Amino acid sequence: MHRAASIPAVRRLMPLIPRANYFDADGTPRFVGSAPAVADMDRWTIDLRHNAGSRDRFQAFYGSQHRQSVEPGAQGNSIPGFGSVFHPSTSLLTINATHIFGGATLNEARFGRTRHVGGTFPAALLNPTEFSIGNGVTRAIGLPQMIVAGDLNFGGPGTLPQGRTDTSYVGVDTFSYARGRQSLKLGGEYRHFVNENFAEGTGVFNFPSMEAFLTGTANAFAITLGERRSVIDQRAIALFVQDHIAISDAFTVELGMRYEWHVTPTERNDRFVVFDARSVSLVRVGVDAGKIYQQNNRNVEPRLGVAWNLARDGRTVLRAAYGRAVDEPGTTAVRDTADNPPFAAPIIAAGSIPLVSAIATTRPAGLAPATADPPGGCRAVCKSTPRTPGRGRSTPTR
């Protein structure tokens, strides 16, 4: 019964598969052809400098790069028309202002912003429902990837679309003072990293033979249901002081201290979901739990350096240094917790799985990913209910 129902879906897929145009040494018909694998890049920059009198200097730089590339054989696709498209863009902005107060003091303020926007998408943005494929995807984001053992691989890629937008803001102010054999620098730094992620996926069907594919019956199926999105804020604050002292013409010392506070990352819609050992359950950070991990705010980083001009002629110099530095945690440490249930429902199944009703066959009753509305509102697959004040929205996706 399942096989008969799946055959119309296979018939609708047939026009996507090119006819054989070659016979190998065994007389087996094959298709031999080519597909475009284009890579385009555009890049431009602008640099402005201005001296506002003898005490003030300004500089601004902006650069931008846009790229698009097509990978026709992504995830093993073996026929033209599928694969993936990757189109990232990157921009960089820096602003620098220097003011000289007098012969011994100056202040330098700097601001920087970097932005990377990129995503990888299926080259064929088709709607599975138009081919009677029941993989749980009802929008034109791509077909599931269909792998026929030893013969055919097309559709997908099954883990796409996915991508991210990374924006970094940095502000630094440094005050410098020099007098005689001593020069002193002190200042502060503020960093704010915003990491926006999205991922969906169309799933993967595995068919043990061409006969199984023609009847529309897979022996394995995998997909993660749900449109997974997150917006992560990671902040950091630093203070520093550095003193350069020339003890003599032959011996100098560098003394410094830096303090770093790496603020615990947060997700704007409380989408971090972690396992709580006490309740033996998954809990939402910001709703059912506090921070995703403790504050990293005890980072004292000393600096020490010496330089000894042994012969006082600059030909032989002995240098030694010591420093302690603390690496700022990346958002990758917490990013994937937004892919946990209830925002996503991973399904991995094996057996006799019909192409037309894979979700209905493999999905346990009552299993439904939930969604918290991203900025800008829900996508077409969302159903919303009134939001409880102070809490993220958790509603089933149908």
- C-alpha span between 217 and 208 (Å, rounded): 9
**What are the angstrom distances between the C-alpha of 172 and each of 72, 87, 238, 240?**
44, 32, 9, 11
Partners of 146 in beta bridges: 154, 205
The yes-or-no verdict on residue 66 having pLDDT over 50 is yes
280: left (phi over 0), alpha (psi -120 to 50) or beta: left
pLDDT, residue 264, reads: 94
pLDDT, residue 380, reads: 30
Most distant CA pair in the chain: distance in Å?
94
Q: Annotate 292-348 with DSSP letters as a single string.
A: SS--EEEEEEEEEEEEEETTSSSSSEEEEEEE---PPPPTHHHHGGGGSTTS-EEEE
CB proximity list for 231: less than 8 A, separation 6 or greater: 194, 195, 196, 197, 267, 268, 269, 374, 375
For 232, other C-beta atoms within 10 Å of its C-beta total: 24
pLDDT, residue 25, reads: 85
**Cβ 91 vs Cβ 62: under 8 Å:** yes
Looking at residue 42, its amino acid is D
| pLDDT > 90 fraction of the chain, expressed in percent and rounded | 68
Identify the band that residue 193 occupies on the pLDDT scale cut at 50, 70 and 90.
very high
pLDDT, residue 364, reads: 60
The yes-or-no verdict on residue 352 having pLDDT over 90 is yes
350-356 average pLDDT score: 93
Query: What's CA 148's distance to the chain center, in Å?
Result: 31
Dihedrals phi, psi of 108, to nearest 5 degrees: -125, 125
pLDDT, residue 3, reads: 59
Among residues 220, 216, 168, the alpha carbon closest in space to that of 193 is found at 168
The yes-or-no verdict on residue 349 having pLDDT over 60 is yes
Among residues 269, 257, 264, the alpha carbon closest in space to that of 236 is found at 264
pLDDT, residue 391, reads: 32
Residue 267, SS3 per DSSP: strand
Exposure on the CB side of residue 70, measured as CA atoms within 13 A:
13
Please report, for the chain, how many H helices and E strands are present, in that order: 4, 23
Structure confidence by residue, pLDDT tens digits, 127-158: 999 999 999 999 999 999 999 997 799 999 99
- In 149-295, DSSP assigns E strands to 152-154, 162-179, 182-199, 204-207, 217-225, 228-246, 251-262, 266-267, 273-276, 281-284
- Give the burial class of 369: count Cβ atoms within 10 A of its Cβ; 0-12 exposed, 13-18 middle, 19 or more buried: buried
In the chain, alpha helices (H): 2-13, 210-214, 332-335, 358-362
The yes-or-no verdict on residue 118 having pLDDT over 50 is yes
For the whole model, what pTM was predicted?
A: 0.82
pLDDT, residue 388, reads: 29
Q: Annotate 54-105 with DSSP letters as a single string.
A: TTEEEEEEEEEEEEEEEETTGGG--STT-SEEE--EEEEEEEEEEEE-SSSE
Identify the band that residue 290 occupies on the pLDDT scale cut at 50, 70 and 90.
confident
Identify the band that residue 8 occupies on the pLDDT scale cut at 50, 70 and 90.
confident
- C-alpha span between 322 and 345 (Å, rounded): 50
Among residues 189, 197, 185, the alpha carbon closest in space to that of 235 is found at 189
For 223, other C-beta atoms within 10 Å of its C-beta total: 26
Looking at residue 76, its amino acid is G
Exposure on the CB side of residue 375, measured as CA atoms within 13 A:
7
